[in-house]
Structure 1
Amino acid sequence: AQKEELKVKKLNKKPSDASESAPVPRVMKPMTKEEWEKQQSVVRRVLDPETGRTRLVKGDGEILEEIVSRERHQEINKQATQGDGLFFQRKLGITDR
């Protein structure tokens, strides 16, 4: 424990010419179970700008499936197919959009 305190003190020590707003380096350590669960509990919607798809992404980047009605599924599939087509055309240089 004493060695860890020394390391932390050394890392937090600022040179005399450093500005006051300089960030303090963090010591790398494994996440606790609570920290990991907190990170995993965050689910966000992320838009893929290239294809126009919206995905549910869990804390560490895991892609989640969303349960939707049949009609909504068809609508999503239609939009995704159209977005994929536009993306492919842009890659080929066929359209400017």
Structure 2
Amino acid sequence: MALPGRDAGVTLLGLSVLLVAPHLAAQGPPTPPTQDTTVLVFEREVFEYPEYARRNPFRPLLTTLDGGPRFERLQLMGIIYSDDPAKSVAVFAAGPADGGGG
């Protein structure tokens, strides 16, 4: 026994497919995505600092020959304690070149 509403539903579905099919067939194939042709250029900024009567702040304080302060020349000037150990600071000063105390 066939249901009367079911035949109408199948017929309606068939007609809707027939009406939409020509529009789908008329569409062309999807266009491929365009490739980005932007060329990235990285430029490094160069800055020349005028050295008139002052030192260039962009150059290191130590030259390769200095090697930095020597431990035997350092003098402990003070310690600033904090409840947070990460915030405690030791203050040093470079002593005389002969390593003696002053």
TM-score (normalised: structure 2): 0.21
Bigger Rg, structure 1 or 2: 2
Larger fraction in helix: 1
